[in-house]
A and B are shown apart, each in its own frame.
Chain A
Amino acid sequence: MSFIAKPKITHPGLPRNEIGLTVRDYEGSMSTLCAGCGHDSVSSAIMQAYFELSIEPHRVAKVSGIGCSSKTPTYFLGGAHGFNSVHGRMPSIATGANAANRELQYIGVSGDGDSLSIGLGQFAHAIRRNVNMIYMLENNGVYGLTKGQFSASADKGSKAKKGAANAYSPIDPVLLAISLGCTFVARSFSGDKDQLVPLIKSAISHSGFALLDVISPCVTFNDHEGSTKSYAHTREHMRETVFADYIGAHEEILTRVEPGEARQVTMHDGSRVSFRHVDESYDPTDRIAAISYIEKHRAEGAVVTGLLYVEESSEDMHSTLGSAPQAMSDIPYQKLNPGADALKKIQSRWK
């Protein structure tokens, strides 16, 4: 970690977004993670995405579980409320928070230990409910805070720092999520901000549960020769399948993808995601094809990245439950209290 506090002076020439904020307004406190940690790059991409979307930081709620990745919500969006909960239970906090106020944006940050071991149940059920949130799974294959034990995402045969090979087959969060009916599934790499920022922006626009599995190497415990989650290994084996460009609802198309070349998907809020198919045959709206494509490449040792699956007609938890359009927390008590006459009427049935 770095011990020098960030200077509070903002350069007058820094670009401002539509609501007049600079990217500095999306920062949090100093990171206490190891220098070079992939998670810090992810935090930086998150700040960039919210900045570019001109979302007021306090309209975002940040939630996390326990672990290195779960510490990161303090390092971005200092103007937002944050909730660092207990190990593996962030999805339930996010679900309850979303139930109370559907009008805020929710970002959950978790790791492979938090999501795929202790929290696998809650991860799966938040997907089933299609809670409207983005779920960043910062995936490094190890438990960092407890000094380098394998996690459930570690590949079979991947080597620990002292050389021991992992004996168990991995849980792939992307495949798991697609099979559970997740309505937005992407994979990226902390070292590829060009890919990551538009993916986060697309995820924010999605109405429903958006999973971003981000390979985010642990420089201290899992960045050595023989590890399949190191920077070098990820760079070498990463295979970008679909590049997703985010186009805001009222934005001109100025992205690196020309319309006509690419297929577009319209998101719930009117924004569009434009796919550049690096692999011509890939269709990110075809669930079965996506699973088989990812499985096939996994068998070959390739890490398929990009927006891998999206369901355009996604209905989030509140739509399924038939909730009122406003936040539950904003409904005045007057409307919630049935009053004395109703109580009398109910009790007449108890006689």
Chain B
Amino acid sequence: MPDNRVNDFVIKVANVNGTGSASANGLLMKSIFRMGIPVVGKNFFPSNIQGLPTWYEIRVTKDGYTCRTGSTDIMVAMNAETYADDLKELPPGGVLLYDSTWPRKDLLQREDVTVIGIPFSAMCNKAFDSARAKVLMKNVAYVGALVALLDIEMEVVENLLKETFASKQHLMDSNMQAISMGYDYAMEHFDCPLNCRLERMDKTDGYVMVDGNTTAGLGSVYAGATVVSWYPITPSTSLIDAYSLFCKQLRTDKDDNDEPVNNYCVIQAEDELAAIGMVLGANWNGARAFTSTSGPGISLMSEFLGLAYYAEIPAVIFDVQRVGPSTGMPTRTQQCDITAAAYASHGDTRHVLLFPADPTECFEMALNAFDLAERLQTPVIVLSDLDIGMNDWMIPEITWDESYQPDRGKVYDAEALRDMDKFYRYLDVDGDAIPWRTLPGVDPRGAYFVRGSGHNQYGGYTEKSDEYQEVLDRLRRKSDTAATLAPAPVIEKGADIGAETNWAVISIGSCHGAIVEARDRLAADNVAFDYLRIKAFPFDPSVAEFIHRFDRVFVVEQNRDAQLRQMLSNELEIDPAKLIPLLSYDGMPVGSDFIVNALSAETAQQQTANAS
């Protein structure tokens, strides 16, 4: 291990699901964060409630990167079942911390790593009475050992425990006891701290640690959403939990009898078909309504999404993507619903997609999504993923612009309808391909009939070819309007290396952090590239312009079939040979190592070709 690893290393904790390791890992990460040192937390958990292996990875990153690297420096091996694999994962020079209550077999020993054995189980079995405490406290004890090994400030840990167990002194006591046991043992038996250690910084001021489902739920509260219908599915459930919790705290009045009066309505649906149906019914009727789901839910919602597209009903859908196809790996991450979401449903449909890159954008894009859905009168699908949605990210504190007013789009009120000869639902009166709508209950002159069957621009039923085509063609033009209203792509110039680079990178969503770090790492080797991050579909015209500037463009995404690349090629009529796929689809959040290695290999190959 290199000597200088202060505030720059990765700890991975291997544990058993359901043993309370989440709170121990949270304590560990929060402690580092409170020492002013940037951290990244990734939870690799099984589709299981108790018993299967689970890992938690904490990256300490003094430079404030938001991604994984892909490698591990310290392995805390608390799960006998995965011990062999966990040990194998450590690079030479790494540190292994394990529970030495049960000695490991000789064949699993490695000479090239530092091995630290602490009898956590034995200590906890002795110190605690209940079976549950013996299991739980073992996890707290390894945090105690790491406090010594990494030089975590004990006062920070103590304060965090005090906040957590403010009203439960006995839990505070037992947790502190476990911390001390681990700490004392490590101090007594090993040379503390390690080379991988911490030193207080001031780089977390003004930052918070949060997951994207929480911020998307909160953003929906701030967007003024009042109706939610959903069906439980990992990894999207916590988005609704967050929305519901914030509403309970912030959107509840009291009636005369002191009973709560809810200014929101959350309905757990019988399935995703009903969830999207309720969302459409509510949006049609003038409320801001949304649902949250994952890939399988998008499949089930597809029929209704087609109706919403054709009948022009606003809707917001959060798709927190997970590994498919089918049930796939429901607790692992991917960006695999891009094409399914863009063209969900039969017939010629195309939906507006937003691609948040982190929890900050989950909040912002929740607001964008509701505004766009009502402005464009169409479903907007926010394509988050498990990595963004369920992992802890360090983001700048979210600020609120008090001048924000929701864009409710083109809706005629009673007054406007009274002054009108006749209202026609699907007429393009403004030339932007967006018609005006009316809400039920407002005025009889606004009445019209929503239908998924053929309709003309006046809103009447039709089976006439020209009338049908007129509406369908306008919908295509509306898609062009969508491209101009949706968040524009972000273009970042490459580092100045004194020469022009003829290639670039395009990516979306949660790949962002890994690309940012890869750019810095490659710049050190005199490799630089421009980078465009797409934030929405339909694609802004600047995406094609960007691609045309280069000979080759690497498209980085997290799925097998290069779905974004396919869409770029199809939608923008770009020669696929020019778009080189860089695909990470193993279910783990893409790390900077992957990007660096792939781009280095490609550029080396090109240099060889140029030289020959």
A contact set with B: CB distance below 8 Å: 56-59, 61, 63, 73-74, 78-86, 89, 91-101, 103-104, 121-122, 124-125, 129, 317-318, 321-325, 327-329, 331, 333, 335-340, 342-344, 346-347, 350-351
Complex alpha-carbon distance, A169 and B571, angstroms: 52
The complex places the Cα of A335 from the Cα of B267 at a distance, in Å, of 21
Inter-chain CA distance A55–B423, complex, in Å, is 22
Contact residues of B between 237 and 263, Cβ < 8 Å to A:
246, 250-251, 253, 259-263
CB distance from B528 to the nearest CB of A (A): 35
> What 3 A-B pairs come out closest when comparing CB atoms?
A92-B277, A96-B281, A96-B278
Q: Total number of A-B contacts with CB less than 8 angstroms?
A: 222
Complex CA gap A56/B269 in Å reads 31
CB of B402, distance to nearest CB on chain A (Å): 6
Q: Can you offer 27 A-B residue contacts whose CB atoms are under 8 A? A: A57-B444, A73-B449, A81-B448, A84-B451, A85-B304, A85-B307, A92-B281, A96-B284, A96-B285, A97-B282, A101-B287, A104-B285, A122-B274, A125-B270, A321-B262, A325-B261, A329-B226, A329-B286, A331-B226, A331-B263, A336-B224, A336-B226, A338-B250, A343-B218, A343-B222, A351-B207, A351-B209
A276 to B34, CA, bound (A): 75
Across-interface contacts of A56 in B (CB, < 8 A): 444
Chain A residues in 8 Å Cβ range of B597: none
Contact B449 A100 (CB under 8 A): no
Min CB distance A324 to B, Å, is 5
Q: Name B282's contact: one of A82, A85, A99, A337 (CB within 8 Å).
A: A99
**A93–B222 CB distance below 8 A:** no
Which one of B265, B304, B307 lies within 8 Å of A99 (CB-CB)?
Answer: B265
Q: Knowing A96-B229, A324-B263 are in contact, say whether A89-B274 is a contact too (CB < 8 A).
A: yes
Given A86-B307, A350-B209, A322 and B260 contact (CB-CB distance below 8 Å): yes
Q: Across the interface, which residues of B come within 8 angstroms of A346, CB to CB?
A: 218, 246
Of all chain B residues, the one with the shortest Cβ separation from A350 is: B208
CA distance A232 to B438 in the complex (A): 45
With A and B bound together, what is the CA distance between A327 and B277 in angstroms?
Answer: 19
Most chain B Cβ neighbours within 10 Å, of A63, A81, A321, A333: A81
Contacts A81-B446, A83-B284 given; does A339 touch B402 at CB 8 Å: yes
Q: Is B576 an interface residue (CB 8 A)?
A: no
- Residues on B with beta carbons closer than 8 Å to the beta carbon of A129: 267
| A338, B439: Cα distance in complex, Å | 26
Which residue in chain A gives the minimum CB-CB distance to B273? Answer: A89
Asked if B178 is at the interface (CB within 8 A of a chain A CB), the reply is: no
User: Does B92 interact with chain A (Cβ within 8 Å)?
Assistant: no
Q: 0/1 per residue, B398-423, Cβ < 8 Å to A?
A: 11101011100000000000000000
**Measured CA separation A171–B440 after assembly (Å):** 34
CB <8 Å contact, B279 and A61? no
Q: Report yes or no: A336 in contact with B251, Cβ–Cβ below 8 A.
A: yes
Q: Which residues of chain B are within 8 angstroms of A121 by Cβ–Cβ distance?
A: 270-271, 274
> With a CB–CB cut-off of 8 A, which chain B residues contact A99?
227, 229, 265, 267, 278, 281-282, 287, 289
Are the C-beta atoms of A342 and B250 separated by less than 8 Å?
yes
Decide yes or no whether B452 CB sits under 8 A from chain A.
yes
Contact B285 A84 (CB under 8 A): no
B221 within 8 A of A: yes
Q: How far is the CA of A337 from the CA of B400 in the complex (A)?
A: 10
B428 within 8 A of A: no
How far apart are B426's CB and chain A's nearest CB, in angstroms? 15
Q: Are A61 and B440 in contact (CB under 8 A)?
A: yes
Contacts of B405 in A (CB 8 A): 333
CA A58 – CA B442 in complex, angstroms?
A: 7
CA distance A41 to B170 in the complex (A): 73
- Also in contact, A95 and B263, with CB within 8 A (given A101-B441, A346-B218): no
Residues of A within 8 A of B452 (CB): 84-86
B397 at the interface (CB under 8 A from A): yes
Pair A84/B271 contact, Cβ less than 8 Å: no
Which of A104, A122, A125 makes the CB contact (< 8 A) with B441? A104
Besides A80-B440, A121-B270, A321-B267, 20 new A-B residue pairs in contact (Cβ under 8 A), listed by A number:
A61-B285, A61-B440, A81-B440, A81-B441, A85-B450, A93-B280, A93-B284, A96-B280, A96-B289, A99-B282, A99-B289, A100-B265, A124-B270, A125-B270, A324-B261, A340-B399, A343-B222, A343-B398, A350-B209, A351-B34
Known: A328-B264, A336-B226. A78 touches B447 (CB 8 A): yes
Contact A323 B262 (CB under 8 A): yes
Q: Which of A86, A89, A328, A344 contacts B227 (CB 8 A)?
A: A328
Bound form: Cα–Cα A344–B75 in Å: 36
Chain B residues within an 8 Å CB radius of A331: 226, 263
In the complex, the chain A residue whose C-beta lies closest to that of B401 is A340
Does the CB pair B222–A95 fall under 8 Å? no
Contacts of B514 in A (CB 8 A): none
Complexed CA–CA distance, A328 and B287 (Å): 6
Given that A100-B227, A100-B286, A338-B221 are known contacts, is A92 also in contact with B278, CB under 8 Å in the complex?
yes
Q: A121-B274, A338-B251, A351-B208 are in contact. Are A96 and B282 (CB under 8 A)?
A: yes
Give Cα distance in the complex from A336 to B288, angstroms. 11
Q: Is the CB of B274 within 8 A of A125?
A: yes
- State whether the Cβ of B453 lies closer than 8 Å to any Cβ in chain A: yes
- Taking A86-B303, A97-B285 as contacts, is the C-beta distance between A58 and B447 under 8 angstroms? yes
Most chain B CB within a 10 A radius of its CB, from A83, A104, A121, A342 = A83
CB interface residues, B 181-223, toward A, < 8 Å: 207-210, 218, 221-222
Residues 343-383 of chain B: 1 if any A CB is under 8 Å from the residue's CB, otherwise 0? 00000000000000000000000000000000000000000
CB <8 Å contact, A336 and B303: no
Q: Are A92 and B274 in contact, with the CB atoms below 8 A?
A: yes
Q: A58-B441, A91-B274, A331-B226 are in contact. Are A100 and B287 (CB under 8 A)?
A: yes
B443 close to chain A: CB less than 8 A: yes
Q: Are A340 and B402 in contact (CB under 8 A)?
A: yes
Chain A residues within an 8 Å CB radius of B210: 347, 350
Q: Which residues of A contact B269 (CB under 8 A)?
A: 92, 125
Query: Is B449's CB under 8 angstroms from A104's CB?
Result: no
Is the pair A80, B447 in contact by a Cβ cutoff of 8 Å?
A: yes
Q: List the A residue with the shortest CB-CB distance to B205.
A: A351
A63 to B270, CA, bound (A): 19
Chain B 496-514 against A: per-residue CB contact (8 Å), 1 yes, 0 no?
A: 0000000000000000000
Query: A339 contacts which of B226, B400, B406, B448 (Cβ < 8 Å)?
Result: B400
Please report the C-alpha to C-alpha distance between residue A73 and residue B447 in the assembled complex, in whole angstroms.
12
> How far is A194 from B284 in the complex, measured between Cα atoms in Å?
35
Please, what's the 1-or-0 string for B299-338, where 1 marks a CB less than 8 Å from any CB in chain A? Answer: 0000110010000000000000000000000000000000
Do the beta carbons of A83 and B450 come within 8 Å of each other?
yes
Q: How far is the CB of B405 from chain A (nearest CB, A)?
A: 7
A97 touches B263 (CB 8 A): no
Q: Which residue of B lies closest to A317 (CB)?
A: B267
Contact of B449 among A74, A94, A337 (CB under 8 A): A74
Instruction: Given A74-B449, A329-B226, answer yes or no on A104-B440 (Cβ-Cβ < 8 Å).
Output: yes
Q: How far is the CA of A327 from the CA of B270 in the complex (A)?
A: 24
**Among B282, B304, B307, residue most surrounded by chain A Cβ atoms (within 10 Å):** B282
How far is the CB of A243 from the nearest CB of chain B, in Å? 33
A131 to chain B, nearest CB (A): 10
Q: Which residues of B contact A58 (CB under 8 A)?
A: 440-444, 446-447
Complex interface: chain A residues within 8 A of B276 (CB) = 92
B445-491 residues with Cβ-Cβ distance < 8 A to A are 446-453, 461
Q: Point out the residues of chain A lying under 8 angstroms from B461, CB to CB.
A: 74
Complex Cα gap A303–B199 (Å): 83
Q: A73-B449, A84-B453, A99-B287 are in contact. Are A93 and B281 (CB under 8 A)?
A: yes
Complex Cα distance A338/B406, Å?
14
**Which residue of B has the minimal Cβ distance to A322?**
B262
Name which residue of chain B comes closest to A101, CB basis: B285
Inter-chain contacts of A94 with B (CB < 8 A): 281
Q: Which of A74, A92, A97 contacts B273 (CB 8 A)?
A: A92
Given A85-B277, A322-B261, A336-B226, is A100 in contact with B289 using a C-beta cutoff of 8 Å?
yes
Residues of B within 8 A of A89 (CB): 273-274, 277, 303-304
